[in-house]
């Protein structure tokens, strides 16, 4: 029954004209951020708490119905939904308007009923601080800000970069924040399509340009197998602590392990012929 209700509500929203969608967004935003925000929060959590796609639709984030990240996040997070996690999202949305944005923070708060939700933005977004949501103002390429942020939050189980999307910023922030991510944690980079867009420092012609986010994360995949390298090699922090890297449409997800997760190097290939056969 809830599935049918979801399809009807999502279908209704998707078929509306753009101007009507904007009116719906404005009304929902006013309701969510007003004194009666619980009228949205309580029914949403009770009816659709485990349905991230529906929550994304209710809270009008672009993680569904625009981008299609919610289905991947459901697969990643459904087992920890009821854990007491700390989630940090870089980029609150709404640009310089202090009252705009915060949609995905409210979505995460509904999805993780015991989680603490943190947002970081270059603009002041303290308007959205409510209940289990807290925001910080600062630049995602400011090392002092990032260190202070990590220190104040403590254990960080999930980091989502939905910030400037500038390739230089994406790589810098990951390099600096990944060591602060808890073992077993997840680091997600959204809107990786900017790796091909020149105005964001991307490069469509040379897709292996190491300054782009996609090329940078692709370069880390070899490190998953560093123990099989036959030459002299000193593993990096990322080699030792990245457990997996997954690439989806415009989304990159890195899982963190520990040095103890590493397996001993293989002695040789598995059963089968090395070259050809009889």
Active-site annotation, residues: 165
What is the torsion angle, in degrees rounded to the nearest 10, for the CA atoms of residue 99, residue 103, residue 105 and residue 108? 160
User: In degrees, to the nearest 5, what angle opens at C-alpha 186 toward C-alphas 241 and 116?
Assistant: 130
Helix and strand totals (H; E) in the chain: 10, 7
Q: Which two tokens stand for residue 69?
A: 């990240």
Specify whether the CB–CB gap between 79 and 87 falls below 8 A. no
C-alpha distances in angstroms, 184 versus 87, 118, 158, 181, 189?
A: 13, 19, 9, 8, 17
Rounded Cα gap, residues 173 and 246, in angstroms:
18
Q: Which two tokens stand for residue 278?
A: 């009889």
Residues in CB range of 244: below 8 A, 6 or more apart: 224, 254, 255
DSSP state letter for 185: E
| Sign of the torsion angle spanned by Cα atoms 88, 146, 95, 167 | negative
């Amino acid at each position: 029954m809830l599935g049918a209700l979801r399809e009807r509500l999502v279908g209704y929203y998707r078929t509306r004209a753009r101007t009507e969608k904007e009116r719906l967004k404005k009304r929902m935003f006013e309701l969510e951020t007003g004194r009666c925000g619980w009228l949205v929060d309580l029914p949403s959590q009770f009816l659709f708490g485990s349905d991230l796609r529906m929550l994304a639709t209710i809270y009008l984030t672009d993680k569904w119905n625009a981008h299609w990240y919610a289905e991947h996040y459901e697969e990643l997070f459904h087992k920890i939904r009821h854990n007491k996690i700390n989630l940090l999202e870089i980029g609150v949305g709404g640009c310089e308007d202090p009252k705009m944005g915060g949609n995905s923070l409210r979505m995460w708060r509904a999805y993780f009923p015991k989680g603490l939700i943190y947002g970081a933005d270059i603009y002041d977004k303290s308007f959205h601080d409510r209940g289990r949501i807290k925001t910080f103002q600062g630049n995602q390429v400011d090392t002092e800000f990032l260190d202070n942020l990590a220190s104040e939050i403590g254990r960080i189980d999930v980091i989502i970069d939905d910030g400037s999307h500038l390739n230089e910023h994406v790589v810098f922030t990951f390099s600096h924040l990944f060591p602060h991510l808890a073992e077993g944690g997840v680091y997600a980079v959204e809107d990786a399509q900017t790796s091909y867009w020149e105005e964001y420092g991307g490069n469509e012609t040379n897709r292996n340009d190491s300054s782009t986010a996609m090329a940078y994360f692709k370069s880390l995949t070899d490190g998953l197998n560093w123990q099989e390298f036959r030459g002299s090699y000193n593993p990096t922090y990322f080699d030792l602590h990245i457990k997996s890297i997954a690439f989806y449409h415009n989304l990159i997800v890195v899982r963190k392990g520990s040095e103890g997760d590493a397996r001993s190097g293989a002695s040789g290939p598995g059963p089968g012929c090395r070259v050809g056969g009889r």
